[in-house]
Structure 1
Amino acid sequence: MIFSEISHSRTADEVMHQIEELVLQGVLKPGDRIPGERSLSKSLNVSRPVLRDALQDLEARGLLETRQGEGTVVADVVGTVFRDPIVQLIRKHPKATADYVEFRRQIEGITAFMAASRANEADRELLTRLVGTMTETHGMQDFSAEAAVDVEFHQAIGECAHNIVLLHTLRACYRLLEQGVFINRSLLYGHKGSRDALLAQHKAIYHAIMQRDPEAARRAAEAHMDFVAEAVKDVEIVGEREAVSRMRLAQHGTQRKSERAVKPARVK
């Protein structure tokens, strides 16, 4: 249970403060359901009217929202780094991808360094579970599932860093990754040799954090992003070559049809 009993000053302000802290610390994530009124009031040891006032205030401030059939959930408080018009521009300019990977290299290195320095037992247990899931998914050869665990793993490292600003910056950054704004992760995982290499790199970051070696964690994270940068370039080059080859094949078929159409009839 993530909610704890309020011992003193059982007011709506105290209830709001506890929920705010859970959202701020990343314990409650966008879309997470808030327990029902009866259950939550009992956990917090507050009256239902007090709880109701707190939830209404948090909803009015945009931290919570009520969804049909779901009840009260954490609102989308992460948002995006860029508004849609700039995202559309980014999609059309390949240099933005290189800049994104360059930014990721720096921020992932810092995050891994901090995670290795600050991760506690619960953090390491979470990372261990995710690496186990990652290994199982790898054996299934499900590119989309592997890509999803990839993001979850990196988000968990951000949580292990125990820096609130870094945590929410990373979440916004990964949202763009999940949306495929910069990198088509299915193509990346489908690239020859990438799946095995990515798994090994993730495990290298994991082991450095588990061994509490900040510098090794930083190097492993930076090496991982260096590989991603090169793999993305290769994927783009292969994609461009395939597109050209398909156009040549289509053109060849068109020419053959044209030649058959204009071929003179044989004189008998």
Structure 2
Amino acid sequence: MESLYAETPFDLFTHVSHNRTADEVVRQIELLLLEGILRDGERLPGERELSKRLDVSRPILREALKVLEVRGLLVSHHGGGTYVADIIGQVFSKPVVELIARHQRATIDYLEYRRALEGITAEFAAQRATAYDKQALKRIVEDMRRAHASGRFEDELAADVALHNAIGEAAHNIILLHTLRACYRLLEQGIFFHRHLVFASDHARGQLLAQHEAISDAIIRAEPAIAKAAAQAHIDYIADAIREAERTGEWQRISQLRMQQRSASGKSD
């Protein structure tokens, strides 16, 4: 992922305290990671630029970056810069992810978990969203509408995840934020189910767009109870859509087996 700092209206990195120690630099970058401002894969400014922004010497900066690398928060590529490590991917270990993927019951538990999580996140967002948060929600919903109107399926899916991430940021709870991002990572990877199942028809896509609009509108209007109910209704709809898709697929499989059986019986006669 390319660095986004050139587009940022303010500097993420500020001068450290008068002590100008490596610990102060580590603390500032850790807070940016903890608060979800620095994201997985983002590239930090170059050493010269970053030391200037932080107002520390380059040896102090190198010491701080080394500490963050040892902690698994940053990754340095020789000659290619320093990047934020894949800290979200580590929330669920690889063995757990593979175990979840092998058992369908996990999908039910995942949706049950997300229903509770999305509800409280939307509720907090409606209570805490800043003007910047609301502006982000409006922009993403507009992107979603344009993608829906033009039939750009993949863009609509991307906007779906972007909106839920933005709601997580608007909730201003760092534990919720990182937990949600981990959930969406698994969703994007198709660990639980393929999102294409939910977006299988124009009717379903229309319903999902309306649900996303309802959640966003309630947050923007600062209506916590309505936002929570809308978020939970959204997950309920997804759960029903998955069950219907799976049921339809099972019916198709059974019909095909019956047809094959009849064909085989006809030949034997």
**TM-score normalized by the length of structure 2:** 0.88
- 1:94 deviation in Å? 2.7
Q: Equivalent residue for 1:125? A: 135
RMSD: 2.2
Say yes or no: does 1:216 pair with 2:226.
yes
- 1:245 deviation in Å? 3.9
- 1:246 deviation in Å? 4.3
Say yes or no: does 1:16 pair with 2:36.
no
Which residue identity does 2:67 align to in structure 1?
D
Q: Equivalent residue for 1:100? A: 110
State the distance in 1 between where 2:80 and 2:151 align: 33
Q: Equivalent residue for 1:182? A: 192
Q: Equivalent residue for 1:114? A: 124
State the distance in 2 between where 1:245 and 1:192 align: 25
Say yes or no: does 1:225 pair with 2:235.
yes
Q: Equivalent residue for 1:140? A: 150
Range with greater deviation from structure 2 (157-166 or 135-144):
135-144
- 1:28 deviation in Å? 0.4
State the distance in 1 between where 2:248 and 2:139 align: 35
State the distance in 2 between where 1:34 and 1:174 align: 24
Q: Equivalent residue for 1:242? A: 252
Structure 2 residue ranges without an equivalent (≥5) = 1-10
Q: Equivalent residue for 1:160? A: 170
Q: Are the equivalent residues in 2 in contact too, given 1:144–1:186 (CA < 8 A)? A: no
- 1:249 deviation in Å? 5.5
* Counterparts in 2 of 1:68 and 1:252: CA distance versus 1, 3 Å: farther
- 1:110 deviation in Å? 0.3
Which residue identity does 2:12 align to in structure 1?
I
- 1:251 deviation in Å? 6.0
* Counterparts in 2 of 1:51 and 1:88: CA distance versus 1, 3 Å: closer
Q: Are the equivalent residues in 2 in contact too, given 1:117–1:212 (CA < 8 A)? A: yes
Which residue identity does 2:109 align to in structure 1?
D
State the distance in 2 between where 1:157 and 1:9 align: 37
* Counterparts in 2 of 1:54 and 1:88: CA distance versus 1, 3 Å: closer
- 1:139 deviation in Å? 2.1
* Partner residue of 1:76 out of 72, 86, 107: 86
State the distance in 2 between where 1:80 and 1:252 align: 51
Q: Are the equivalent residues in 2 in contact too, given 1:127–1:157 (CA < 8 A)? A: yes
Q: Are the equivalent residues in 2 in contact too, given 1:80–1:175 (CA < 8 A)? A: no
* Counterparts in 2 of 1:247 and 1:38: CA distance versus 1, 3 Å: farther
Range with greater deviation from structure 2 (67-76 or 145-154):
67-76
State the distance in 2 between where 1:79 and 1:117 align: 29
- 1:254 deviation in Å? 6.8
Q: Are the equivalent residues in 2 in contact too, given 1:191–1:231 (CA < 8 A)? A: no
Q: Equivalent residue for 1:151? A: 161
State the distance in 2 between where 1:144 and 1:170 align: 21
Q: Are the equivalent residues in 2 in contact too, given 1:187–1:235 (CA < 8 A)? A: yes
**Structure with max Cα Rg:** 1
Q: Are the equivalent residues in 2 in contact too, given 1:33–1:70 (CA < 8 A)? A: no
* Counterparts in 2 of 1:93 and 1:245: CA distance versus 1, 3 Å: same
Matches within 5 A, 1:29-44: 29-44=39-54
Deviations 1:236-261 (A, max 9, x none): 112222333444556677778x67xx
* Counterparts in 2 of 1:81 and 1:252: CA distance versus 1, 3 Å: farther
Count of residues in Structure 1 that have an aligned counterpart in Structure 2: 259
Q: Equivalent residue for 2:71? A: 61
* Counterparts in 2 of 1:200 and 1:165: CA distance versus 1, 3 Å: same
- 1:7 deviation in Å? 4.6
State the distance in 2 between where 1:91 and 1:7 align: 47
- 1:186 deviation in Å? 1.3
Please give the secondary structure, in 2, of the residue aligned with 1:193.
helix
Say yes or no: does 1:173 pair with 2:183.
yes
State the distance in 2 between where 1:234 and 1:252 align: 27
